[in-house]
Structure 1
Amino acid sequence: MFKLVDNYDKGRSLILENILFKLQNNNLLIDLLDYNLSGSLLGNVHGLLGLIEIQGSTYLITINQSVKITEGIYKIVKVNFYCLNSPNYDLIDSPELDFDYHPCLDIKKLVEFGNFYYSNSLDITNNALNSTSPPKNEFVWNKFLIENLINWKSNLETHQRTIIDQHNPFITVIQGAISVYPLPNHASLQVISRLSSKRAGTRFFSRGIDDDGQVANFVETETIFKDKNVTFTYNQIRGSVPLFWEQQGLQAFGQRTQITRPFQASKPAFEKHFYNLLQSYDAIHVLNLLGQKDHEVTLSDAYNAHLESLETDNLPITYSNLDFHSILRMSGHQSVIKQLDNHLYNGQGHGPTWSLIDNNTNQVIIRQHVVFRINCLDCLDRTNFVQDIFSKSRLKDFLQSTNSPYAQSESFWQAHRHLWAENGDALSKLYAGTGALNSSFTRTGKRTLAGLFSDATKSVTRAYVSNVTDKSKQSSIDMFLGNLPSQKPVEIYDPVLDIVRSDLNDRVTEYSSSRKISIHAGTYNVAGQIPTEDILPWLFPEGSEEPDIIVVGFQELVQLTPQQIMSTDTFPRQIWERFILETLKSRQDKTDEYIILRSEQVVGLALIVLIKQGLSKSIRSVEGAQKKTGLKGMSGNKGAAAIRLQYEDSTFCFIASHMAAGHSNIEERNNDYFTISNGLQFLKGKVPEDHDNIIWVGDFNYRIDLPYETATSLAYNDNYEELLSNDQLPRAMSRGIFKGYEEAPILFRPTYRYNFNSDVYDTSEKRRIPAYTDRILYKSKSNLYATRYATVDLRGSDHRPVYATFRTDIRKIDHMKRDQLAKEIQANILKTGPNETIEEKLMKLGITRRQQAEDNLPSPSNEKSNWWTDEEGNDFDFISDVFPKANEIEIPKVRRPPPPPPIKQKEKQNEVEHEDEDLINLSQEPLGSAETPPELEDAKSDVESKSNEQEKPIEPTDKPKKPRPPVPKATKPLSLKGQPVYPDSNDLE
């Protein structure tokens, strides 16, 4: 037990034994005390789960009550949350505090009712065979909360680490199920299941695999029989089918299963999953229990196709299939058990089928050779039934081989059934919200009427849970694991680590290499039309190289009717995907095939990323994000879709957007930019700005502020200079919209609005002014540059498609070299002279950043001046001065005040405003014209049809430090430090 003390000297600080936690200047300071500070005793705790920041406040999560399961292993019963900002925000069990809502309340419930276990003396993240190995990260559930504390401890001096290790207050926990049946003479029978934290969640929100090879509901289950001299162990694993697939909850016509990535795009993650398994187990036998139902057979067939592809790699992986439900319906449970005996015999091979450990020496006598990987659809009911049978078979063989009396003991096998029933119920409650089906048979060995009624009740309850409560539970799980888009770990002030990171960035070439890649990006508003034209000139312009990555954004895949904008129809996107793949396959002189890596869709907006087939093993961490902006964010008729990926060790973010329409709706479009750039969030707090390279395509809808006749005439005469000088987008960029983004020089006609199947601009009654609505912008922290920017003469829509080609470097890091260099840098920093402490050494290095923010604060206000205004009385952003290195995402956190005390949430009515029609009222134009000019009656019939395929390669050069908004004023771009740029509009007005 540890004492937790509340010390309130110049702000709140919490002391856990002799470890001080305190917030100062927005930094979390942790110090090891060699003296006692006075304060009120908050209580005795069993350990610290970690730190978490929620709604601007930082909390310590402590274990306040636990129950002993077996020697050295405890189950968490109660946790408390102590706020470092103010004691008013503590979430503790006290009759005086009756919060209907608190930001930590859902996590508290998750931990207290979520089967979490810990041990101060044993490593329960590993099975018995690997008890001396380092903790297995995939089974650690509080890594996000505790990792920075562990890193802080590792940077302490040796004697300080020794002091902390004596108490061991930093606890790692697992989730799963641990059941123990004690036997005479200190013997015991145990079933231990460890649930992976890597793709954790509830069943309809967590399916299939991710790009790192982690699968949903992955569980390692260990049957342990401890006798006086030896320990018997038998390991089995379960996990979701390792493909990219998903399944909706309650559906009118069954639970349709959808595979979301084709074979070649799924193969790298599939192979990675089994390679990872072979790092832990000698050999794998896959037993697939999926049946021949419509929603299972598609997934089962795809699974078997991938497993067949593994056979060519000569890996120790075998597989078999058993239609569990079909046999059960025809012949009952006993017939299933007979079939399982055959699968067990054929699958376990000729090596040892269990493991033995010498209790006296802790040496492994026999090691299990083949581990069964068993799956059904949810990996719950059928899987648990089969694992119980296999466990009994292997344990019975061992007991009979040693002439143990337990081999014939009915009470022993009744205990075994009970442990497996408890195991199945516990895992099922975590994933599906109810106990396992078939658990009555597992518990009693009989099928009874009461068991049938129980299973029916559980099925109804699961349907309710999956559609009502699972979403909020998934959010709690993601928050606890640090997977929510807005989350980042609580950073601990560590000057040594800051120096190490800075030095590593300066010496990146010492542990990494780089090479060039090419990217093709395109955007096309198809106006609800299906593909009928050859799009190869758009995807592969003449003279271009085969790009490594192809990024295409579509707008208006469907007609944006009131019925369509409230839901997403994926069928049009799938038509375009097939058309793209067929087009790429049909090209001549091809050297590479392309596969679709991922697609994202928001109503009529879609983003599709394709890669060369051979690059699939080099690309990982693929994620998608969406943001609706129509009707105040409720409708998807406008919005954005984004896909991020990591190519080797370089990160990319691709965005496709469709912004507010209407000639005069400039502010709405500007607001859409901020909503999208701030609202697109990926896992673990990643936002677009966190990536090395960003390419943003779309129908931005910025218009040209000229009368119809003038703009049309300029467009037909290819006078891009005058058109672009009146373009709304560069003006918006000069005011901070798309800050830091660049656009290649535009040397083509406006892309909107044409008559369908014509090269004539709009001659309808509305006569929309020609505009460059379709754009491609980019932003880079490295050396991403454009080599071509053009449009293509496809006439199936009222827009013309636009494309841009890019080149950049991708970096590959040798992580072993990097880690070694980091250790050398840290050792050099911490190297002290005789009788010199680390603190004294750091002072010599000039590390005084702890006081930096406080020293830079402005002077207090007085009668003559205010700290928030300059000499002329204008407001200025002092936060940027105080924190000069903070980026746009971090600064709002500095400004944000502490949250109010938890109160009941009140529902607020959302006001819905309809978007303005896409009409033009020239009397309200920013040009200030007093009279609307007469519009052309007919389009100029004598204008020669000129190809829009006009482009000018852009030579790769160094970028200027401060990119200017591209406002063309001359046909030939000027040059600044070798980079093509256009002069500011003010220079020529």
Structure 2
Amino acid sequence: MGSSSSPLYDKFHLYSTPQFLFIVPECPSSSSSSQETQIVVIDRWSGRIKLAAKAEHFPLAANVAFRKIPIFGVLGWIPAQNQPQLVVITKRVRVGEWPDRHVVYRLEGAEIIHVCQTPITPDTRRMVEAVSGVLTTPYFYFCYTQDLTATRQRLFLASNESQSPQSWLDRADERFVWNRSLLGPLLKSAAGPDIQPFLTPMIHGAVFIFKCGIQGQDVDWILVSRRSNRRVGTRFFLRGCDDHGRVSNFVETEQIVIHGSMVSSFVQTRGSMPMFWEQQPDIRYKPKALVTPKKESIQGFVAHFKEQVPLYGEQVIINLIDQKKAEGELELALKKICHEAQLKGVHYVAFDFHKECSKMRYDRLQILIDSLRQHVANYGCFFYSAANPDSLQLQKGVFRTNCMDCLDRTNVVQSLLATENLNLVLRRMGILSPADNVLDQLEFQHIFKNAWADHADLISIQYAGTGALKTDFTRMGVRTKYGLLQDGWNSAVRYVFNNFTDGIRTDALRFFTGEVNMEEYLKQYQKKKPSQGSLDYLPGVFLAVFIALILTLVLTHEVSLKFFVLFLGAIGFLYLIGQMILQNGRIWVNFPRTLQ
């Protein structure tokens, strides 16, 4: 990964015997016969991990029973209280070639192997299920020869640093290595840092790689998003920032264009509003969002940008939330904090997306893009031509976009800013004339718009549980009635997930990334959920009465005064029960136990 001191292996055979697990790299044919090859040896009784020469253990004795499976990398180790689990890649899909022939893969299958011979305990099974659940969330990506955590600009600058070679894990941006916590026990084992060529770091987010034709010229167009492994969790349960300025749903998105010896990279970021606020679910469709009353709210904002500005340069905060009601209070709070902080190089732009684009007037987004055009020109992008080293240009700043979830509205605006950048880059590369627009190239327009819409769906599934809203505009440039219906369906599914399943998912994410340790995770799930007495039965009573009422209406052929009175009484009873449920809604929400 990146400029590694040793290359990462990309194919292995895992041998499982009653006493050992052996991870044997599939070496190139020129060295496949060498018995000096290092392999990983895991003692199934003690759990000890070490490196050894292949000749010490192979060939296996004829009387040793073993299972042999092909694997494509090691993702980590779950200590699991004397019942360790080894996590390996069993299936991968080739996404495409990164610049300079670096092949990118998507994780399609992983197996968690019970190392010890003892029966698995309930606690261990819970941890295995948590890790397994996270690994089935689309999508994880990895590359054996390139650092996927780094932008082209960071890679270029790192390659020109005069320092001693570092391992891939030392050089990788730890914000984006999602299995870093799982890799930790392997690196601390007896095998030590020398085990790194066997390990496979992953990013979470989206990667799209296309070879396109624009104006008859070959262009590589790549879109990659890297989700941060900090303050992980799901929509509603994780909002705003923590004391260290780390925000929920932070994503770095990079658009790469390659033509001949020329390469460009344009980076944008998204992330929850960097202040202390919350929106705890209470089974209402849209729970009220509140600014958390903390005196140090400005400190979280300052801490966020003290990290962001050195990483990305100047920042334009593009806030797309409503400017009325509860969202309006949040918008005013963020504007006030930004004004009071007076941070150099941090600018604030508010755009009421829903108001400006009401009645499907999405053409009005051009007002926002026009207002940002000077920043687009000032910030530029990373640009370099190997044929002309003097062409080097660095990106000086980024657009940091947010809405409430940093999903739907955010993705629409990011795709428009990416279009602006793409036009500038292709003109500089001599592919487009100043009068041309890249989206007039119909074949590329189809690729570009669908990739951004698919990208929106992936980031949304990872945070909210469903595909994104408003993707019909991203795909076709207009809002459609079918798109509105699809948005309604996704909103309904989000409601169910966000209220009744996302607590468990948030806990699993926090455990997977190491934000909560094994002891704390198990401690919270060993506690029995307290009973709320008769309130526990309210939803069941409501549902029973509602079904009985519907059946009565269907089966009754004559409507009498008595029936009418009973019907009104049932409606009134349902109303009272409904109000009690709403007033006590938090009782039935599936809250994360590790956040209580």
TM-score by length of 2: 0.74
Which structure 2 residues correspond to residues 922-937 of structure 1 after superposition, within 5 A?
Answer: none
Query: What letter matches 1:195 in structure 2?
Result: R
* 2:339 maps to which of 293, 303, 308: 308
Change (3 A) 1:41 1:229: same
The answer to whether the Cα contact below 8 Å between 2:205 and 2:227 also exists between their aligned partners in 1 is: yes
The answer to whether the Cα contact below 8 Å between 1:48 and 1:62 also exists between their aligned partners in 2 is: yes
Note the C-alpha offset of 1:479: 2.4
* 1:358 maps to which of 385, 389, 413: 385
Alignment pair present for 1:211 and 2:243:
yes
Query: What letter matches 1:57 in structure 2?
Result: Q
* 1:318 maps to which of 343, 347, 363: 347
Which structure 2 residues correspond to residues 508-527 of structure 1 after superposition, within 5 A?
Answer: none
Q: Distance in 1 between matches of 2:178 and 2:529?
A: 37
> Which residue does 2:413 correspond to in 1?
386
Change (3 A) 1:111 1:626: closer
Which structure 2 residues correspond to residues 776-795 of structure 1 after superposition, within 5 A?
Answer: none
> Which residue does 1:188 correspond to in 2?
220
Query: What letter matches 1:375 in structure 2?
Result: N
Q: Distance in 2 between matches of 1:120 and 1:285?
A: 34
> Which residue does 1:280 correspond to in 2?
311
Note the C-alpha offset of 1:55: 6.1
* 1:298 maps to which of 314, 329, 339: 329
**Structure of greater Rg:** 1
Q: Distance in 2 between matches of 1:379 and 1:394?
A: 21
Query: What letter matches 1:207 in structure 2?
Result: R
Which structure 2 residues correspond to residues 708-723 of structure 1 after superposition, within 5 A?
Answer: none
Q: Which one is further off, 135-144 or 264-273?
A: 264-273
> Which residue does 1:139 correspond to in 2?
176
> Which residue does 2:18 correspond to in 1?
8
* 2:487 maps to which of 455, 465, 482: 455
Q: Distance in 2 between matches of 1:63 and 1:170?
A: 10
Note the alpha carbon deviations across 1:646-684, whole angstroms, 9 max, x for none: xxxxxxxxxxxxxxxxxxxxxxxxxxxxxxxxxxx978x
Note the alpha carbon deviations across 1:384-405, whole angstroms, 9 max, x for none: 0000111001111222344415
Q: Counterpart of 1:398 in 2: which secondary structure?
A: helix
Query: What letter matches 1:111 in structure 2?
Result: L
Q: Distance in 2 between matches of 1:4 and 1:149?
A: 16
* 1:373 maps to which of 391, 396, 400: 400
The answer to whether the Cα contact below 8 Å between 2:79 and 2:185 also exists between their aligned partners in 1 is: no
Alignment pair present for 1:125 and 2:155:
no
> Which residue does 2:107 correspond to in 1?
76
Q: Counterpart of 2:456 in 1: which secondary structure?
A: helix
Q: Counterpart of 1:171 in 2: which secondary structure?
A: coil
Q: Distance in 1 between matches of 2:368 and 2:137?
A: 34
> Which residue does 1:178 correspond to in 2?
207
Query: What letter matches 2:267 in structure 1?
Result: N
The answer to whether the Cα contact below 8 Å between 2:51 and 2:191 also exists between their aligned partners in 1 is: no
Q: Distance in 1 between matches of 2:519 and 2:445?
A: 47
Query: What letter matches 2:516 in structure 1?
Result: L
Aligned residues: 478
Alignment pair present for 1:53 and 2:79:
yes
* 1:344 maps to which of 369, 372, 378: 372
The answer to whether the Cα contact below 8 Å between 1:440 and 1:447 also exists between their aligned partners in 2 is: yes
Note the C-alpha offset of 1:81: 0.8
Q: Distance in 2 between matches of 1:626 and 1:103?
A: 12
Change (3 A) 1:16 1:284: same
The answer to whether the Cα contact below 8 Å between 2:206 and 2:455 also exists between their aligned partners in 1 is: yes
Change (3 A) 1:155 1:627: closer
Q: Distance in 1 between matches of 2:375 and 2:502?
A: 36
Change (3 A) 1:322 1:346: farther
The answer to whether the Cα contact below 8 Å between 1:485 and 1:682 also exists between their aligned partners in 2 is: no
Change (3 A) 1:441 1:682: closer
Which structure 2 residues correspond to residues 413-562 of structure 1 after superposition, within 5 A?
Answer: 413-487=445-519
Q: Distance in 2 between matches of 1:626 and 1:82?
A: 25
Change (3 A) 1:359 1:151: farther
> Which residue does 1:767 correspond to in 2?
none
Change (3 A) 1:360 1:36: farther
Q: Distance in 1 between matches of 2:120 and 2:387?
A: 51
TM-score by length of 1: 0.45
Change (3 A) 1:106 1:253: closer
Change (3 A) 1:87 1:440: farther
Note the C-alpha offset of 1:36: 2.2
Note the alpha carbon deviations across 1:356-390, whole angstroms, 9 max, x for none: 13356999711122200000000000000000111
Change (3 A) 1:23 1:482: farther
Note the C-alpha offset of 1:463: 0.8
Note the C-alpha offset of 1:437: 0.8
Note the C-alpha offset of 1:116: 0.4
> Which residue does 1:897 correspond to in 2?
none
Q: Distance in 2 between matches of 1:152 and 1:356?
A: 42
Q: Distance in 1 between matches of 2:388 and 2:90?
A: 36
Query: What letter matches 1:69 in structure 2?
Result: V
Note the C-alpha offset of 1:409: 1.5
Change (3 A) 1:252 1:36: closer
* 1:150 maps to which of 181, 187, 191: 187
> Which residue does 2:198 correspond to in 1?
169
Q: Counterpart of 2:198 in 1: which secondary structure?
A: coil
> Which residue does 2:48 correspond to in 1?
28
Q: Counterpart of 2:109 in 1: which secondary structure?
A: strand
Q: Counterpart of 1:211 in 2: which secondary structure?
A: coil
Change (3 A) 1:279 1:218: same
The answer to whether the Cα contact below 8 Å between 2:77 and 2:183 also exists between their aligned partners in 1 is: yes
* 2:139 maps to which of 112, 115, 127: 115
Q: Distance in 2 between matches of 1:328 and 1:424?
A: 19
Consecutive unaligned residues in structure 1, runs of 5 or more: 91-100, 490-624, 637-680, 684-989
Q: Counterpart of 2:242 in 1: which secondary structure?
A: coil
Note the C-alpha offset of 1:13: 4.2
Q: Distance in 1 between matches of 2:487 and 2:356?
A: 18
Query: What letter matches 1:140 in structure 2?
Result: V
* 1:62 maps to which of 75, 88, 91: 88
Change (3 A) 1:475 1:331: closer
Change (3 A) 1:209 1:153: farther
Note the C-alpha offset of 1:269: 2.2
Higher relative contact order (CA 8 A, sep 6+): 2
Q: Counterpart of 2:208 in 1: which secondary structure?
A: strand
Change (3 A) 1:628 1:2: closer
> Which residue does 1:539 correspond to in 2?
none
Alignment pair present for 1:395 and 2:422:
yes
Change (3 A) 1:102 1:362: farther
Note the C-alpha offset of 1:182: 1.8
The answer to whether the Cα contact below 8 Å between 2:50 and 2:191 also exists between their aligned partners in 1 is: no
Change (3 A) 1:476 1:627: closer
Query: What letter matches 2:43 in structure 1?
Result: K
Q: Counterpart of 1:413 in 2: which secondary structure?
A: helix
> Which residue does 1:85 correspond to in 2?
116
Q: Distance in 1 between matches of 2:390 and 2:287?
A: 49
Q: Which one is further off, 111-120 or 351-360?
A: 351-360
Change (3 A) 1:114 1:485: same
Change (3 A) 1:223 1:15: closer
Change (3 A) 1:74 1:326: same
More helix by share: 2
Note the alpha carbon deviations across 1:52-92, whole angstroms, 9 max, x for none: 134652100000110011121100000001112128659xx
